[in-house]
Amino acid sequence: MDTDRYSDLKHDTKLVIWDLDETFWQGTLSEGGITPVAAHLAMIRKLVERGIMCSICSKNDFATARDKLQELGVWDLFVFPHIDWTPKGAAIKSMLERMGLRAENTVFLDDNHLNLEEVRYFCPGIACVDAKGTTDGSAPDLTGLLDLPQCQGKDDHKLTRLDQYRIMETREADQQTGGLSNEEFLRQSGIELKIITDLDGHMDRVVELINRTNQLNFTKQRVHDAAQRAELEELLRVPGVHAGLVHVRDRYGDYGIVGFFCVRVRFSGTTVHHFAFSCRTLNMGVEQWVWRHLGQPEFTVVPPVANGLDTPAQVDWIRSVTEFGQPPEAGSDRSLILVGGCDLQQVSFYCGARRIEFVNKQDDQGVIVRYDDAGFLLNPRDRTLDRNWVMQNVAGHSLRDLLDADAGFAASDVIILSMFFSFCTQNLFTHEGENQPDRYLVTVPPKRLAALTRDPQNSIRMLRAMRHLRLTLEQRVDLMRAAFARVHALKRPDARMFLIGVSTTGEQAQRTAEDRQAFNRLCREFCIIHAGAEFVDIDAVVPAGEFVDSDHYTRTGYFKIAERINAVSDQAQDVRQAG
């Protein structure tokens, strides 16, 4: 072993950061083919099984590098990867801060001397290892790290520590859920609200809230490009402008940053530039509380909005804090994946924090993207979808979404599907891939279809590429049964799969009674004959007084659905542990 190569290592190693080109593999990815180094592929898994995390800091195209690492079967073993063309020193400093690790417990491997020196400057104490290969062009042998006492770690063959860092990654981007509720339920929830006025470092979240919120975006002012973002940043520096992000938590957990406001106060009055909130806290009174906190400024609300600002008349269940109090009650540590309508977000929060969500959302143009689509579950996962016009311009979701969903179905403890929209839709189409007619399915919601067909060129391409399916009720049952069966085949034997039914009560339900009864019957029968599958009967689980309409419930109603899911999951977990 070349001991001089590792002379910087002084402390126990918790993280190894890899350069890619001429370090992890031979060759330069952006300049042609690369040659994998088998010893390094095995080394990654050995490190992770010792509880030593591996990350990446590489000057490369992210998608290209990710695809290559996926092809090599090691992408999922890296955490917090930094793959772009920016300098490495600041990137690694930021990575360590986000992961909560010290530079002294980190090893950085790179073949470029300037990169090593730059990282040393930004991260004093880090162990920098010159990974340059031999003079004859052979790959560097870095497996000597495994023999060092500083890199022995501890046995973690279950990859528990990797899972913990995966949770941290999810929490960075995860938005916490809220929902409809009655005032009594809200008062016992212990809601705390914190306003963040220091926006430095939070601008991406500000822009996301402005662009991605719709039903609780009262001004509808968007930030679509770099110039508009620069205008917003300049506005925030104007004297008299009051702006803040809104962070909410209650005794169930942390909803995260769910709102943004920007108002300019002058003698002539208050101008409201932005007033936008996530639907995760819908009907918790958050937007009404903030409006009153700002002095109830008058402004023209741009419809549509889900709630007015003057109802309820009083919000006395929210406590304003400068720092949150005691941590929320510990929730379940089980992992979840959810596919379906946005109401699932209001269920998911009570089921656990470790979750992957494929829940209907607005795209950058404000057009809805639906994941409760039979095609999302059934379509072949092949690379042709990356260049498929319908997927790129009509469906809204991507091949990456499909692959991530499959990985989630295979890995999660709990799978929750809410697919009634896909079952009853009349807007199901097929489209071809690589000269294979009708290879893929796609559901296009009416509003998305209307938005797309406003462009004549889009209309022509859609007519050429897509074929409308008119399925009988029996054919729709067969299609949805096949979708459920594919997900069930992917799940772990010990995982639980929940099929959310649909209510058969109320005016809206009466208009679609046949479809609702057939869907519930399908879900119930599927769960009877498939091990580990559970039907959630909405009419039986949600109390009669908690229905807002046939398809929407109070916050207590969503809580009851989650309570049912948790009870079954807990029981299954107890059985596993007893066995």
How far is it, in rounded angstroms, from Cα 152 to Cα 178?
Answer: 43
pLDDT at residue 574, as a whole number: 64
How far is it, in rounded angstroms, from Cα 410 to Cα 488?
Answer: 9
The 10s digit of each residue's pLDDT in 520-555 is 999 999 999 999 999 999 999 988 888 878 887 765
Whether residues 235 and 164 fall in one domain? no
What's the rounded mean pLDDT across residues 131-148? 77
Closest CA to 424 of 550, 554, 557: 550
Residue 85 maps to a domain: yes
The model's confidence at residue 181, banded by pLDDT at 50, 70 and 90, is very low
Residue 519 pLDDT > 90: yes
How far is it, in rounded angstroms, from Cα 178 to Cα 559?
Answer: 10
Whether residues 432 and 550 fall in one domain? yes
pLDDT at residue 172, as a whole number: 42
pLDDT above 90 covers what percent of the chain?
Answer: 35
Whether residues 482 and 545 fall in one domain? yes
What's the rounded mean pLDDT across residues 6-12? 82
What's the rounded mean pLDDT across residues 285-303? 88
Higher confidence at residue 59 or residue 321?
A: 59
Whether residues 431 and 364 fall in one domain? yes
Residue 266 maps to a domain: yes
How far is it, in rounded angstroms, from Cα 217 to Cα 208?
Answer: 12
Q: C-alpha distances in angstroms, 290 versus 123, 180, 251, 294, 563? A: 41, 18, 20, 6, 30
Q: For the full predicted model, state whether its pTM sits above 0.85.
A: no
Residue 511 maps to a domain: yes
Residue 326 maps to a domain: no
Whether residues 219 and 345 fall in one domain? no
- Please tell me the total count of domains within the chain: 3
pLDDT at residue 267, as a whole number: 46
Instruction: Please say which residue of 173, 208, 228 terminates a domain.
Output: 173
Omega before residue 312 within 30° of 0, cis: yes
pLDDT at residue 540, as a whole number: 93
Whether residues 255 and 376 fall in one domain? no
Pairing of strands 15-18, 53-59: parallel
How far is it, in rounded angstroms, from Cα 229 to Cα 171?
Answer: 25
Whether residues 397 and 341 fall in one domain? yes
Q: Which tokens in the block code for residue 233?
A: 């940043």
What's the rounded mean pLDDT across residues 338-356? 72
How far is it, in rounded angstroms, from Cα 26 to Cα 36?
Answer: 6
Question: Residue 570 maps to which CATH number?
Answer: 3.40.50
The model's confidence at residue 15, banded by pLDDT at 50, 70 and 90, is very high
Residue 557 pLDDT > 80: no
The model's confidence at residue 353, banded by pLDDT at 50, 70 and 90, is low
pLDDT at residue 366, as a whole number: 65
pLDDT at residue 333, as a whole number: 64
Question: Residue 162 maps to which CATH number?
Answer: 3.40.50.1000
The model's confidence at residue 364, banded by pLDDT at 50, 70 and 90, is low
Higher confidence at residue 457 or residue 238?
A: 457
Whether residues 309 and 429 fall in one domain? no
Residues 6+ apart with CB under 8 A from 95: 17, 55, 57, 80, 82
Question: Residue 200 maps to which CATH number?
Answer: 3.40.630
The 10s digit of each residue's pLDDT in 447-481 is 778 877 888 887 888 888 888 888 999 999 999 99
Range of the structural domain that residue 292 is part of: 183-320
How far is it, in rounded angstroms, from Cα 441 to Cα 460?
Answer: 19
Whether residues 232 and 346 fall in one domain? no
Instruction: Please say which residue of 140, 173, 206 terminates a domain.
Output: 173
Whether residues 410 and 549 fall in one domain? yes
Higher confidence at residue 485 or residue 159?
A: 485
Contact of 278 with 206, CB cutoff 8 Å: no
Residue 422 maps to a domain: yes
Residue 515 maps to a domain: yes
Whether residues 399 and 513 fall in one domain? yes
The 10s digit of each residue's pLDDT in 81-128 is 999 888 899 999 988 877 767 788 899 999 888 899 999 999 999 999
138 CB-contact burial (10 Å; exposed 0-12 / middle 13-18 / buried 19+)? exposed
Half-sphere exposure of 278 (CA within 13 A, CB side): 27
Instruction: Please say which residue of 285, 320, 355 terminates a domain.
Output: 320
Residue 140 pLDDT > 70: yes
Residue 156 pLDDT > 70: yes
Please calculate the CA angle 560-404-389 and round it to the nearest 5 degrees: 115
What's the rounded mean pLDDT across residues 300-315? 83
Whether residues 246 and 137 fall in one domain? no
Higher confidence at residue 336 or residue 33?
A: 336
Residue 63 pLDDT > 80: yes
Q: What is the mean pLDDT of the chain?
A: 83
CA 161 from chain centre, in angstroms, equals 20
Residue 325 maps to a domain: no
Q: Which tokens in the block code for residue 222?
A: 């968007």
Q: Strand runs (DSSP E) across 221-252, as ranges?
A: 241-250
pLDDT at residue 332, as a whole number: 43
The model's confidence at residue 405, banded by pLDDT at 50, 70 and 90, is very high
Residue 256 pLDDT > 50: yes
Residue 309 pLDDT > 60: yes
How many residues are there in the chain?
Answer: 579
**Which of the listed ranges 57-71, 257-271, 303-317 does the model predict with the highest average pLDDT?**
57-71
